[in-house]
Amino acid sequence: MKRFIETLKNIYKIEDLRLRIGTTLFLLLIYRLGAFVSLPGIDPAQLQNLQSQTSGGLLGLINMFSGGAFGQASIFALGIMPYISASIVIQLMGIAVPYFQRLQKEGESGRRKINQITRYLTVLILIPQASAYLANLNVQLPDTAFAMTGVWFTIPSIVILTAGSMFVLWLGERITDKGIGNGISLIIMIGIIARLPRAVVQEFASRINQQGGGLVMFLVEFVILFVVFMASILLVQGTRRIPVQYAKRIVGNKQYGGVRQYIPLKVNAAGVMPIIFAQAIMMVPITIVGVANSENLRGVAAALSNITGLWYNLLQFLLVVAFTYFYTAITINPTQMAEDMKKNGGFIPGVKPGKRTVEFLDTVMSRITLPGSIFLGLVTILPAFAMMMGINQSFAYFYGGTSLLILVGVVLDTLQQIESHLLMRHYDGLMQSGRIKGRPGGGM
């Protein structure tokens, strides 16, 4: 406790860090307040049907990611997920389209151009999603909930929902630039945390009312949750160290090299991004059904929206595994690593420099990514098993990767940045021993 208080004092002494943390909290507060501002023309007192619809299933998951804004018919109802969907498309184009490949090689100017294209694509995705959301509102809410109808309500509401999501994106970018941590990841995390107290209270109430051992089951659930939490930390922080021997070089009167160092390859180099990507893809069927209004598509969407169903969990598991490999491939470049080692006079003992080193690193990454991706996929679909065991749906979400891994990854990443500020100014870090290992790349 004494060390914790001392750390808080050290954080307060660093003006830049104090300002960054304050800016982050202020911008997150704006986001949370905006989640309770309903669309103009809708009576907030008549949202019971919408809130009931978003209490479970895939819509409940969407509502959790938006921090409850989806179920409040808020101006931030569509949240940050359309931007993530656009990012997926642009990253896939970076592999297949030569134009985007050239932009990726142009450094900062290319990155700005890619970000601009991603924003334009986000707007194009938001327009049909906003239309589908409004179509759902017309079905779920009574006519008395609308102060106006027709195009005079639809067109302004589409503009407001689109602008609201773009404003949330702007808040995330400002947090990344002026605050601490990755802004978009923090916005997703704060939405998840906002749903946690209510979920715990609901689960506790349901177990207390249960006859015979309800409180014991509640304690067992928390023990299981703690075990999953610790396993998630191991997944985020687990590494495989590859030894690299540097040859001796004499420059002037100084000797360089002749030492062995290690390349830490992460078991889960993709962090929590595969889960976020998979969730963004799983929202596509609902958007298509809302726009197309087809009975056949409704059946497909119902199967892919049943969070305890076989097809939903199988598809999500496969998407998480696939996106883990995809994101690892774009995050870690074995060719670049081999070239850097060769330029600095380094080599992996027993492996020839050049092509053999690239093949060795690629093989190691593929082998350690496989168990990591499978475990990530299993943790992602764990809420379905929790619901089958009778756990309240809202609380069951926190057993899986859709919430727990995001919380773990984002918190570790943010704490790592705070610790870096402390160590850079010669203060003790947050941990008494060792360093906090955050996610590679810092998220979105």
Q: 80 with 172: CB under 8 angstroms?
A: yes
Residues 392 and 372 sit within 8 Å (Cβ to Cβ):
no
Mean pLDDT (whole number) for 176-188: 86
Range of the domain at 264: 2-442
Spatial contact of 10 and 427, defined as CB atoms under 8 Å apart: yes
Q: By CB neighbour count within 10 A (0-12 exposed, 13-18 middle, 19+ buried), where does 395 fall?
A: buried
Count of domains forming the chain:
1
Cβ neighbors of 295 (< 8 A, separation 6 or more) are none
| Average confidence (pLDDT) over 117-139 | 89
pLDDT over 60 at 70, yes or no: yes
Cβ atoms of residues 11 and 18 within 8 Å? yes
Band (440; pLDDT cuts 50, 70, 90)? very low
Predicted confidence at residue 372, as pLDDT, reads 82
Predicted confidence (pLDDT) per residue in 232-248, tens digit: 777 666 777 777 776 65
Using CA atoms, how far apart are residues 115 and 443, in angstroms rounded to an integer?
15
Residue 134 CA to residue 154 CA, distance in Å, equals 7
pLDDT at 165: 93
Residue 408 to residue 360: CA distance in whole angstroms: 31
Q: What pLDDT is attached to residue 247?
A: 63
Domain at 234, CATH number:
1.10.3370.10
Instruction: Specify whether the CB–CB gap between 85 and 279 falls below 8 A.
Output: no
Q: How large is the average pLDDT for residues 419-441? A: 60
Q: What DSSP character marks residue 312? A: H
The CA distance from 57 to 305, in Å, is 6
CB 436, CB 412: distance < 8 Å: yes
Sign of the torsion angle spanned by Cα atoms 310, 279, 25, 14: positive
pLDDT confidence bin for 251, thresholds 50/70/90 = very low
Predicted confidence band of residue 25 (pLDDT cuts 50, 70, 90): very high
